[in-house]
Amino acid sequence: MSNQEVPYKIYLTEDEMPKSWYNLRADMKNKPAPLMNPGTHKPMTAEELGQVFCAELVQQELDDTTPFIEIPDEIRNFYKMYRPSPLVRAYCLEEKLQTPAKIYYKFEGNNTSGSHKLNSAIAQAYYAKKQGLKGVTTETGAGQWGTALSMACAYLGLDCKVYMVKVSYEQKPFRREVMRTYGASVVPSPSETTEVGKKILAEHPGTTGSLGCAISEAVEVAVKNPGYRYVLGSVLNQVLLHQSVIGLEAKTALDKYGIKPDIIIGCAGGGSNLGGLIAPFMGEKLRGEADYRIIAVEPASCPSFTRGTFAYDFCDTGMICPLAKMYTLGSSFIPSANHAGGLRFHGMSTTLSQLYHDGYMEATSVEQTSVFEAAEMFARIEGILPAPESSHAIRVAIDEALKCKETGEEKTIVFGLTGTGYFDLVAYQKYNDGEMSDYIPTDEEIAASVAKLPKID
């Protein structure tokens, strides 16, 4: 099929939206390692997990055999307010780059939270409501997850308590106000409102916080307050499951035009958008039906895949959460405050970690100045102001397209444009003023936090 027959935007009808999420784990021969109880070093049981998480989400977390899980009508109806999201052919970017590559991006920024996170937020809030809970607690870094969860909770009438990484709380006051507008309470983390927050503040006075700290605080509050559970916006299997809606839609759209991607690229913080985008494609790869190059892109300042260790580790700094076997920089790793672009989590989804370990996907890391250079180019040519996180994927998509220019190969590249950057203007300002620099942790720094990994025999 010739290029021109593919429209700039491939939209699906509501009826073409997926009716089930796809659970990638069902097709994995080597399943991701189970979450482990930090005290007993035994796999977490449903009962133990149920003290922290909603019951039905625990079932989804533990289910690594059911390939398709039906999306409840209530969630599907909510999805219809902002989905299906478009798959865009980046004709203008191709033209600018003078590349024979065909570039597509799946745009998830078309909702107030400004990112893909709403796909899982509404699902998690729905199951909390169904269980009759009063509310949920969570952490947020850059603020997209907190905003998405606030929106979902407002819609369903649930209370929402958000622990926001202090540096973001201070840098992004408008993000905080959006959450409050949706009825959430927002506390800068680490805070004096929890035992673990007090402990972290005593040990690291003046810390700007980390996702790991904020998770510890949110879990503590959920466990101590009857009628509350903790919800997490990335990393967990259940989140990747909900995000499979991204990949399923993308695949349906591509199939409509008989397009088969060669390279699929996504940014990786905890792995949820990437896990969701690649899900049906990786499924085909695992079943031996097709082959794709799949590339995870992470910041050079927080390089879990490319420089981390595949081991059991805590997901939080306070070491109260279950252990997950993942590529990790160590739960005590705190990315440099200089780092502007999100994707600050020290670990990675257990599912993606296992797939990477088994050679089903690649990973690469990029420095933030080159990320913002790609963001600026993309904004000027494709019109959308991208989130810095998403711009990691843009960077590598552009680099792959430029390689095609050299070799003359007409590869088809699909990348995830996870969100918009309206709340990241402090970072854009730094870039525009020429004040952004790159920070790459030394081997010694990484070794020091990896040395503190829990000892498991």
Sites of contact with ligand PLP (CB under 6 A) = 115, 117, 144-145, 234, 267-274, 342-343, 387, 389-390, 418-419
Q: How far is the CB of 288 from ligand PLP (least distance, A)?
A: 27
| Nearer CB in complex with ligand PLP: 10/343 | 343
Which one, 110 or 225, has the nearer CB to ligand PLP? Answer: 110
Minimum Å gap between C-beta 118 and ligand PLP is: 10
**Is 84 or 341 the residue whose CB approaches ligand PLP more closely?**
341
CB of 206 to ligand PLP, least distance (A): 26
Residue 377 burial by Cβ neighbours in a 10 Å radius (0-12, 13-18, 19+): middle
Would you say 111 or 272 has its CB closer to ligand PLP?
A: 272
Q: For residue 103, which of 119, 89, 115 has the smallest C-alpha distance?
A: 89
Between 197 and 342, whose beta carbon lies closer to ligand PLP?
A: 342
The residue among 99 and 349 lying less far from ligand PLP, judged by its C-beta, is 349
CB of 276 to ligand PLP, least distance (A): 8
Least distance to ligand PLP, CB of residue 113, Å: 8
Which of 99/272 has CB closer to ligand PLP? 272
Please state the closest distance from residue 321 (CB atom) to ligand PLP, in A.
16
Q: Which is nearer to ligand PLP, 250 or 267 (CB)?
A: 267
| Shortest spacing between CB 202 and ligand PLP, in angstroms | 29
Task: Label the pairing between strands 68-70 and 87-89.
Answer: unpaired
Measured from the CB of residue 257, what is the shortest distance to ligand PLP in angstroms?
26
Compute the least distance from the CB of residue 241 to ligand PLP, in Å: 13
Euclidean distance between CA atoms 323 and 42, whole angstroms? 10
Q: Cβ closer to ligand PLP: 85 or 99?
A: 85
Identify which of residues 261 and 347 has a Cβ nearer to ligand PLP in the complex. Answer: 347
| CB of 266 vs ligand PLP, minimal distance in Å | 7
The CB-nearest residue to ligand PLP is 419
